[in-house]
Amino acid sequence: MRRPIDIDALQHVLCAALGTATPVSTPAQLGLGIGPFIAKDSAVADRPTLVGGAAPYAPTTPAPTPQALDALVEHARSLGVAQLLVPRVRRTDDPGALRAAGFVPVAADSECVVRLTEDVDDLLRGRVGADRLRELRAHHAAVSQDLTWERIRLSELNAQGWAREAFVALHRRVAERGEHPTPCNADALDTLAHGAAADRTELLVRRRKEVADAEDAVVLVALLVESHTGRGTYHLAGAVGHDDPVARETLEDASLYRLCLDARSSGLEWVHLGSGDSERKRGVGADLFIPLDHWLRAPDLPSAVEEAEAVEEGDGSALSRFATGPVAAVPVPGPARFRRQPRFDTIDLSSNTNPFLGPDALYPHLDTTELARTYLTTIAELPGHRGVDALSPEHVLFSSGSVDGAMLLLAALASPGETVCVTSPTFPLYAHFARVLRLPVVDVPLRGDALGELDVEAILAADPRVTFLCDPNNPVGTRLDRAQVLDLVRRTRGIVVIDEAYAEFSDTPSYAGLVAAHDNLIVLRTLSKAWGLAGARCGIALARPGLVDALRRVQVPFGFTDASQRAARHRLTNSHEALDSVRRIRAERDRMAAALAQHPSVERVFPSETNFLLVRLHEHEQVMALFAAAGIVVADTGFVIPATCRISIGDRRANDTLLAALSAAV
If one compares 177 and 622, the residue with the highest pLDDT of the two is 622
Q: What pLDDT, on a 0 to 100 scale, did the predictor assign at position 93? A: 92
In CATH, what number does 4-291 get? 3.40.630.30
What residue type is 103 in one-letter code? F
Sign of CA dihedral 141, 146, 149, 154: negative
Q: What pLDDT, on a 0 to 100 scale, did the predictor assign at position 159? A: 85
225 in Cβ contact with 208 (< 8 Å) = no
Q: 383 pLDDT exceeds 90? A: yes
Burial call 65-84: b when 16+ CB within 10 Å, e when fewer: eeebbeebbebbeeeeeebb
In the chain the first and final C-alpha atoms are separated, in Å, by 77
* CATH 3.40.630.30 intervals, the chain: 4-291
Q: What pLDDT, on a 0 to 100 scale, did the predictor assign at position 288? A: 94
What residue type is 127 in one-letter code? R
CA angle 39, 42, 46 (to 5 degrees): 130
Q: 580 pLDDT exceeds 50? A: yes
Give CA–CA dist 467/295, Å, rounded.
47
Give CA–CA dist 178/223, Å, rounded.
21
Q: What pLDDT, on a 0 to 100 scale, did the predictor assign at position 161? A: 86
- From the options 3.40.640.10, 3.30.70.790, 3.20.20.70, 2.40.110.10, give the CATH code of 361-573: 3.40.640.10
| % of residues, the chain, pLDDT over 70 | 96
Give CA–CA dist 496/465, Å, rounded.
9
**DSSP string of 533-568, one letter each residue:** -GGG--EEEE--HHHHHHHHTTS-TT-S-HHHHHHH
* CATH 3.90.1150.10 intervals, the chain: 578-663
If one compares 275 and 181, the residue with the highest pLDDT of the two is 275
Least confident of 25-39, 284-298, 434-448, 580-594: 25-39
Radius of gyration of the chain (CA): 30
Mean pLDDT of 418-443: 97
pLDDT band at 283 (very low <50, low <70, confident <90, very high): very high
Mean pLDDT of 283-291: 94
Q: 306 pLDDT exceeds 90? A: no
Contacts of 205 (CB under 8 A, 6+ apart): 148, 150, 151, 152, 163, 166, 167, 218, 220, 221
Least confident of 236-240, 404-408, 467-471, 657-661: 236-240
Q: What DSSP element (H or E) covers 648?
A: strand 644-648
Least confident of 99-108, 509-518, 584-593, 610-619: 99-108
Give CA–CA dist 634/622, Å, rounded.
14
Q: What pLDDT, on a 0 to 100 scale, did the predictor assign at position 407? A: 96
10 Å CB burial of residue 479 (0-12, 13-18, 19+) is: buried
Give CA–CA dist 446/640, Å, rounded.
12
Q: 405 pLDDT exceeds 60? A: yes
Give CA–CA dist 660/306, Å, rounded.
74
Q: 311 pLDDT exceeds 60? A: no
pLDDT band at 305 (very low <50, low <70, confident <90, very high): very low
Q: What pLDDT, on a 0 to 100 scale, did the predictor assign at position 309? A: 44
If one compares 144 and 336, the residue with the highest pLDDT of the two is 144
Q: What pLDDT, on a 0 to 100 scale, did the predictor assign at position 55? A: 65
Mean pLDDT of 11-18: 90
Q: What pLDDT, on a 0 to 100 scale, did the predictor assign at position 317? A: 64
**DSSP string of 374-426, one letter each residue:** HHHHHHHTSTT-TTGGG--GGGEEEESSHHHHHHHHHHHH--TT--EEE-SSS
- List the one residue out of 508, 576, 510, 578 whose CA is nearest residue 538: 578
Quick count: other Cβ atoms within 10 Å of Cβ 629?
10
Give CA–CA dist 243/223, Å, rounded.
21
pLDDT band at 182 (very low <50, low <70, confident <90, very high): low
Q: What pLDDT, on a 0 to 100 scale, did the predictor assign at position 666? A: 64
pLDDT band at 310 (very low <50, low <70, confident <90, very high): very low
pLDDT band at 462 (very low <50, low <70, confident <90, very high): very high
* CATH 3.40.640.10 intervals, the chain: 361-573
Q: 205 pLDDT exceeds 90? A: yes
| % of residues, the chain, pLDDT over 90 | 73
410 in Cβ contact with 420 (< 8 Å) = yes
Tell me: cis bond preceding 56? Omega within 30 of 0 counts: yes
Give CA–CA dist 459/466, Å, rounded.
10
CA angle 392, 395, 401 (to 5 degrees): 125
In CATH, what number does 578-663 get? 3.90.1150.10
560 in Cβ contact with 552 (< 8 Å) = no
Mean pLDDT of 301-313: 49
Give CA–CA dist 642/640, Å, rounded.
6
Summarize pLDDT for 232-281 with one digit per residue, the tens.
Answer: 999 988 899 888 889 999 999 999 999 999 999 999 999 999 888 899 99
DSSP bridge partners of 222? 204
pLDDT band at 303 (very low <50, low <70, confident <90, very high): low
**DSSP string of 19-66, one letter each residue:** TSSS-EE-HHHHT---HHHHHH-GGGGGS-EEEPSSTTTSS--PPPPH
- Average pLDDT of the chain is 91
Q: What pLDDT, on a 0 to 100 scale, did the predictor assign at position 314? A: 39
Q: What DSSP element (H or E) covers 235?
A: strand 232-240
Summarize pLDDT for 626-659 with one digit per residue, the tens.
Answer: 999 999 999 999 999 999 999 999 999 999 999 9
Q: What DSSP element (H or E) covers 183?
A: none
Summarize pLDDT for 133-144 with one digit per residue, the tens.
Answer: 999 999 999 999
- Give all strands of the β-sheet with 420-422 in edge-to-edge order: 396-399, 539-542, 521-526, 495-499, 466-470, 420-422, 441-443
Q: What DSSP element (H or E) covers 110?
A: strand 104-115
If one compares 534 and 337, the residue with the highest pLDDT of the two is 534
